[in-house]
């Protein structure tokens, strides 16, 4: 199957399929990490997904998607906080994993700047803190605004929360520029993390998995008083908008930050060449366990700001900076059992139950085994001694088995052929390319209680309905009581229980102490549910949990269909053989066959159609996207972008076209009105020429878009 094939062996069709899969998978992990503060995979596995995506795009540039992860940073802000648009985008960093990558980084910079190999090129080096990025805006020296990274363009307004941190000054010295935007990382030390979990345990509260999750969860509290009680710290390391620059080097700016009252990492240094960077990396790696806070690598930056300005940015990252990652921490323990967990899409995920072991300061008792193929490939057996690692201090994984310590009576693990939750057959689906999927899935669908429960948790998640007071814990509680078993049950709670709310509703905030009366708590929950009946249509589409439909593709579908009934009817028409309806949706830029097949498959199920119909009957009325412009030069026209755009990203160009009322599709046909071609237009340019389609350069497109 395409997911397991080397990039160089992929055909164009397989590459397109892989890019669609990677966009959806990386998008889901971005949401888990940046929005939910609950990463699902290790940093190393996440980096591997992004590296594969970049490699495929480099080999097939014409197939680059409009929702490509290479054009995306973080995840969209949640509805719980106000939104702040960053004056200067908060971008990410490229990665280096070995000495050769660091040497290449130096070489690329010298080639770009046309510097001789012996020319002076100073760098800064500092630890990469594993916390939550934040931006602080000062006007006339006064802190007026604080925000999370969000999706890099728009973040969450957490000003009040950030003001509770002792490391963040509210007033800067008189001589600072009129506008100062300081950016850095909010984190929690190991000692403070351990003390917090002790207090949480004693009070019956939530136990955090690691310091990063604790810091992120503490900073994004709706109740500022809770944030104030949490031991959060802040390291400043860069800036955004500045009305004037007080220094001409990165190191000079850090000195200014320190003078203004910010904490700057004491391990920050400047060096003259890559050998100095590598020596500092090795030195900090050796001290890592004693630093007292989590880091996952070092960040190198060109020191001279005029060089940074010349180097600029590529995609989602600056050319003048890179993150040099540390290897994962490892330990040896015994695998006592293998547990099978059933997810909302029916995926059977094996989890290793381990003899508890401390890795990187955290006690580990579970590790992901991914899938049946992974167990077979590594020949993992119950009773084995195994090496585990916590790459990026997230979910541990089994690296290898110590075969030399294996019991001679052990036998290979037999992956279950039936769902452990409902007993239905567990199968590996055959993909479009004829290969079996790596994931084994329960065939029962939403009649499987495990899938139904996990589907409900997805339905109310932050990226979906985001109902205040109704999270994963409450779904578990209400499921056990039989109060909620399907999405429509959420919207009928008030009608069923307003006069006699179950006692458990006093805990909707997650706190064990009673706050107000039971009816007051229930009333707040009813109000929160009522408010989400008109949530954005794309949130409802994403909330349905249809495979291959992430947040980005949900927005595409919302803009195209404008209502749930229209989308359901179109899917049913496609299932009945309406090729025109299928062709229409497949031509949308960012929509592939896998997504369309998943949409058709979902609404081919009478149970799924009944669930959506029941939601509508329960009173939901999703808000469709804002109407697009109709009085522009491209309103109603179909546009294709191809080649490399040099003055704006593909995503920016597409967004601008759609805002002007145009329809952006991914392939050229007789229905195409305009092709915008950058360098390397390829086959799309050739076909457009043959069909007589109007062809614009990027500059011509910018002129047209400005009208």
User: Are 217 and 142 in a shared domain?
Assistant: yes
Give 3-state DSSP helix, strand, coil % of the chain, rounded to 5: 40, 20, 35
335-338 long-range contacts, Cβ below 8 Å, gap at least 24?
335/380, 335/381, 335/382, 335/383, 335/384, 335/385, 335/386, 335/398, 336/382, 336/383, 337/382, 338/369, 338/375, 338/380, 338/382, 338/413
Of 53, 16, 52, nearest to 595 by C-alpha is 16
Pairing of strands 638-642, 663-664: parallel
Distance, C-alpha 561 to centroid of its chain: 25
| Cα 528 from Cα 534, distance rounded (Å) | 11
Residue 363 within a domain? yes
Q: b/e per residue, 664-693, with b = 16+ CB within 10 A?
A: bbbebeeebebbbbbeebeebbebbeeeeb
CATH number assigned to the domain comprising residue 696? 3.40.50.10190
Of 112, 164, 115, 98, nearest to 136 by C-alpha is 164
| Cα 58 from Cα 619, distance rounded (Å) | 47
CATH number assigned to the domain comprising residue 594? 1.10.150.20
Q: Where among 517, 534, 551 does a domain terminate? A: 534
User: Are 491 and 426 in a shared domain?
Assistant: no
Report pLDDT digits (tens) over 610-630.
999 999 999 999 998 876 566
User: Are 516 and 547 in a shared domain?
Assistant: no
Distance, C-alpha 334 to centroid of its chain: 32
User: Are 216 and 302 in a shared domain?
Assistant: yes
Side-chain-facing half-sphere of 395: CA atoms under 13 Å: 20
Q: b/e per residue, 141-154, with b = 16+ CB within 10 A?
A: bebeebbbbbbbbb
Dihedral, 243, 265, 263, 106 alpha carbons, nearest 10? 0
| Cα 592 from Cα 610, distance rounded (Å) | 26
Pairing of strands 123-129, 295-302: antiparallel
Q: Structural domain tally of the chain?
A: 6
User: Are 196 and 100 in a shared domain?
Assistant: yes
Backbone phi and psi for residue 340, each to the nearest 5 degrees, phi listed first: -110, 120
Sign, CA dihedral 160-164-167-170, equals positive
Q: Where among 510, 534, 558 does a domain terminate? A: 534
Which stretches of 506-603 are assigned E, i.e. beta strand? none
User: Are 61 and 109 in a shared domain?
Assistant: no
Residue 72 within a domain? no
Report helix, strand or coil for 302: strand
Residue 77 within a domain? no
128 a catalytic residue: yes
- Bridge partner list, 430: 436
Residues 6+ apart with CB under 8 A from 586: 592, 593, 596
Q: Which two structure tokens, joined as six digits, stand for 505?
A: 């509703």
Report pLDDT digits (tens) over 197-209.
888 878 777 778 7
Q: Which helix (H) or strand (E) holds 287?
A: helix 274-287
Residue 312 within a domain? yes
User: Are 301 and 431 in a shared domain?
Assistant: no
Report helix, strand or coil for 534: helix
User: Are 247 and 371 in a shared domain?
Assistant: no
Q: Do residues 674 and 700 lie in contact, with contact meaning Cβ atoms separated by under 8 Å? A: no
**List 64, 83, 128, 378, catalytic entry:** 128
Of 147, 170, 171, nearest to 159 by C-alpha is 147
Residue 100 within a domain? yes
User: Are 488 and 500 in a shared domain?
Assistant: yes
Tokens 């949401």 — which residue? 31
Of 612, 591, 604, 491, nearest to 540 by C-alpha is 612
Report helix, strand or coil for 221: coil
Q: CA-CA distances (angstroms) from residue 486 to 69, 353, 422, 536, 626? A: 33, 31, 17, 20, 29
Report the 10 Å Cβ neighbour count for 303.
22
Residue 624 within a domain? no
Q: CA-CA distances (angstroms) from residue 149 to 21, 77, 306, 329, 548? A: 25, 8, 25, 27, 26
| Cα 54 from Cα 75, distance rounded (Å) | 19
| Cα 114 from Cα 116, distance rounded (Å) | 7
Backbone phi and psi for residue 392, each to the nearest 5 degrees, phi listed first: 75, 15
| Cα 272 from Cα 689, distance rounded (Å) | 52
The region, left, alpha or beta by phi > 0 then psi within -120 to 50, assigned to residue 249 is beta
| Cα 615 from Cα 462, distance rounded (Å) | 19
Report pLDDT digits (tens) over 112-138.
999 888 889 999 999 999 889 999 999
CATH number assigned to the domain comprising residue 24? 1.10.287.610
Q: CA-CA distances (angstroms) from residue 78 to 28, 154, 544? A: 14, 10, 18
Q: Which two structure tokens, joined as six digits, stand for 325?
A: 């990652």
User: Are 542 and 436 in a shared domain?
Assistant: no
Residue numbers in the chain where pLDDT is lower than 50: 74-75, 77, 393, 509-516
Q: Do residues 420 and 402 lie in contact, with contact meaning Cβ atoms separated by under 8 Å? A: no
DSSP state for residue 510 in the 8-state scheme: S
| Cα 381 from Cα 373, distance rounded (Å) | 13
Q: Do residues 435 and 429 lie in contact, with contact meaning Cβ atoms separated by under 8 Å? A: no
| pLDDT given for residue 509 in this prediction | 44
What is the residue-averaged pLDDT of the chain? Answer: 86
Q: Do residues 109 and 273 lie in contact, with contact meaning Cβ atoms separated by under 8 Å? A: no
User: Are 125 and 185 in a shared domain?
Assistant: yes
Q: Where among 534, 562, 592 does a domain terminate? A: 534
| Cα 633 from Cα 556, distance rounded (Å) | 22
| pLDDT given for residue 463 in this prediction | 81
Report helix, strand or coil for 164: coil
Report helix, strand or coil for 595: helix
Residue 153 within a domain? yes
Residue 631 within a domain? no
User: Are 106 and 187 in a shared domain?
Assistant: yes
Give the domain extent around 655.
638-705
């Amino acid at each position: 199957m395409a997911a397991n094939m080397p990039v160089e062996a992929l055909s164009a069709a397989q590459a397109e399929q892989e890019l669609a899969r990677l966009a959806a998978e990386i998008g889901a992990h971005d949401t888990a990490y940046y929005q939910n503060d609950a990463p699902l995979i290790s940093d190393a596995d996440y980096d591997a997904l992004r590296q594969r995506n970049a490699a495929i795009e480099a080999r097939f540039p014409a197939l680059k998607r409009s929702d490509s992860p290479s054009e995306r940073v973080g995840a969209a802000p949640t509805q719980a906080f106000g939104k702040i648009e960053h004056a200067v985008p908060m971008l990410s960093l490229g990665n280096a994993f070995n000495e050769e990558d660091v040497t290449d980084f130096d070489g690329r910079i010298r080639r770009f700047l046309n510097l001789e190999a012996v020319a002076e090129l100073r760098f800064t080096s500092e630890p990469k803190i594993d916390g939550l990025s934040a931006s602080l805006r000062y006007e006339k020296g006064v802190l007026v605004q604080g925000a999370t990274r969000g999706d890099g363009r728009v973040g969450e307004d957490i000003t009040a929360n950030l003001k509770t941190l002792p490391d963040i000054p509210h007033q800067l010295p008189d001589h600072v520029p009129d506008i100062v935007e300081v950016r850095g990382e909010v984190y929690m030390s190991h000692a403070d993390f351990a003390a917090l979990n002790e207090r949480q345990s004693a009070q019956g509260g939530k136990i955090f998995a690691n310091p990063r999750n604790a810091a992120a969860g503490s900073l994004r509290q709706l109740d500022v008083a809770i944030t104030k009680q949490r031991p959060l710290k802040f390291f400043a390391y860069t800036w955004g908008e500045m009305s004037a620059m007080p220094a001409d080097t990165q190191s000079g700016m850090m000195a200014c930050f320190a003078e203004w009252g910010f904490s700057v990492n004491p391990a920050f240094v400047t060096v003259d060449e890559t050998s100095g960077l590598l020596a500092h990396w090795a030195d900090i790696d050796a001290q890592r366990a004693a630093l007292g806070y989590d880091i996952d690598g070092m960040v190198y930056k060109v020191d001279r700001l005029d060089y940074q300005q010349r180097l600029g940015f590529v995609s989602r990252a600056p050319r003048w900076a890179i993150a040099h990652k540390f290897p994962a921490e490892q330990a040896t323990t015994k695998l006592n059992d293998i547990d099978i967990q059933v997810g909302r899409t029916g995926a059977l995920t094996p989890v290793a139950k381990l003899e508890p072991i401390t890795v990187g300061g955290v006690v580990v008792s579970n590790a992901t085994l991914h899938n049946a193929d992974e167990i077979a490939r590594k020949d993992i057996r119950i009773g084995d001694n195994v090496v585990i690692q916590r790459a990026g201090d997230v979910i541990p994984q089994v690296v290898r088995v110590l075969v030399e310590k294996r019991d001679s009576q052990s036998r290979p693990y037999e992956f279950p052929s039936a769902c452990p939750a409902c007993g239905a057959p567990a199968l590996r689906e055959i993909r479009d390319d004829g290969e079996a999927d790596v994931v084994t899935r329960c065939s029962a669908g939403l009649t499987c209680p495990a899938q139904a429960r996990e589907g409900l948790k997805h339905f109310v998640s932050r990226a979906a309905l985001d109902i205040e007071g109704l999270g994963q814990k409450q779904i578990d509680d209400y499921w056990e009581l039989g109060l909620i078993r399907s999405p429509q049950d959420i919207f009928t709670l008030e009608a069923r229980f307003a006069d006699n709310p179950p006692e458990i509703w006093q805990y909707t905030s997650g706190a064990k102490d009673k706050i107000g009366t039971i009816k007051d708590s229930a009333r707040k929950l009813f109000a929160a549910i009522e408010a989400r009946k008109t949530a954005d249509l794309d949130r409802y589409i994403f909330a349905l949990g249809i495979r291959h439909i992430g947040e980005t593709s949900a927005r595409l579908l919302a803009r195209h269909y404008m209502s749930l009934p229209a989308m359901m009817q179109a899917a049913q028409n496609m299932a009945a053989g309406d090729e025109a309806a299928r062709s229409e949706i497949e031509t949308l830029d960012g929509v592939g066959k896998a997504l369309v097949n998943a949409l058709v498959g979902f609404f081919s199920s009478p149970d799924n159609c009944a669930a959506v119909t029941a939601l509508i009957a329960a009173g939901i009325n999703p808000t469709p996207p804002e109407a697009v412009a109709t009085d522009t030069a491209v309103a109603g026209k179909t546009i294709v972008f191809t080649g490399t755009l040099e003055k704006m990203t593909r995503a920016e160009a597409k967004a601008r076209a759609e805002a002007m009322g145009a329809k952006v599709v991914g392939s050229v046909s007789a229905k195409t009105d305009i092709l915008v071609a950058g360098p390397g237009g390829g086959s799309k340019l050739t076909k457009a020429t043959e069909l007589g389609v109007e062809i614009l350069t990027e500059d011509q497109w910018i002129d047209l878009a400005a009208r």
